[in-house]
Amino acid sequence: MPPFSSDIFMRAGGLTAVYLPYNITDEDLYPLLDQINGVYFTGGDLDLYNPETGELHPYSVTGLKILNYAKQVKDSQAEHFPILGICQGLELLHILVANNTDALGWSTLENATVNTRFVDANPQKESRLYSLFPESALEAMETENILWHFHHRSVPVYNYLKYPQLREFFKILSVNLIDDQYIVASAEARDYPIYLTQFHPEVVMEPANDINAVRTPTTAQIAFSFANWLAVESAKSTHRWRDYEEMRGWMVKNGDPQGEIEFVKEMVKAYGFDY
């Protein structure tokens, strides 16, 4: 169930959010992918794989199908199909690309805000993800403790040496030093429109008071920069809905509003779907 802030985050960029059930059948999945303009893997606290057997969770299996689809349509049709993964989304895409669940490490930063350290001196020019961001927003991201993290897992930078397919596929854009190790804070695929962050830019749109987010004009600017950038990326896709009523049936806002989120002590709007 995507949190309220994820839906608002996408709408801030003028995007309409539809949901993809984690256990969606191939019969439903591929016709949907052929009509949408990209996929956003939200944060979450799911076990992406069985820690005893290493077997991927059905959510991760569906994620692998989406990853392969994005690569296939780019390679065979030159179709631009962007993927954005935030927090758990970053972790998911790394274990899928590495084809090894051990690519995912441990680091705890729970309900806290920090800055991030860009790898390149000018991320606006040296990356696609940050190419549309104002310089003031990028400077604030690097110098102020304003980026919200909530995770116990992460991808250590040294795993890019351990798993060569990671460094061949992704370019690390920024890092954080957490638990005495550098972790990947943001990255993008070298040859595909796939983008990842460990921090949550969308959280400033979450109304819950006990989420320790920094809500200022600067963090709002960062969130809207991400949302607008995602809208521009999505607009590069040639996919269109064949049937407006079908689109309405999959829209996130049609979900049944749900109640409490476990780690938040207040009522937070989320969406549940019967599939």
User: Where along the chain do its domains lie?
Assistant: 4-272
For residue 241 the two structure tokens come to 């809905």
253 vs 177 pLDDT, higher one: 177
CATH topology of domain 4-272: Rossmann fold (3.40.50)
In this model, does residue 184 exceed pLDDT 70? yes
pLDDT at residue 212, rounded to an integer: 84
**pTM exceeds 0.75 for this model:** yes
- Mean pLDDT of the region 148-161: 94
pLDDT at residue 17, rounded to an integer: 87
Structure confidence by residue, pLDDT tens digits, 51-96: 999 999 999 999 999 999 999 999 999 999 999 999 999 999 999 9
CA dist., res. 61 & res. 45, Å (int): 16
Q: Which band of pLDDT confidence, cut at 50, 70 and 90, is reported for residue 265? A: very low
Of the residues 80, 87, 149, 151, which is catalytic?
87
The per-residue b/e assignment along 144-153, b for 16 or more CB within 10 angstroms, e otherwise, is eebbbbbbeb
CA dist., res. 64 & res. 66, Å (int): 5
End-to-end CA distance of the chain: 12
pLDDT at residue 264, rounded to an integer: 46
In this model, does residue 2 exceed pLDDT 60? no
Of the residues 149, 151, 200, 239, which is catalytic?
200
For the chain, the average pLDDT equals 90
> Is 87 known to be catalytic?
yes
Structure confidence by residue, pLDDT tens digits, 190-226: 999 999 999 999 988 877 777 888 899 999 999 999 9
111 strand-pairing partners: none
> Is 94 known to be catalytic?
no
Q: How many Cα neighbours within 13 Å face the side chain of 133? A: 28
For residue 133 the two structure tokens come to 């961001």
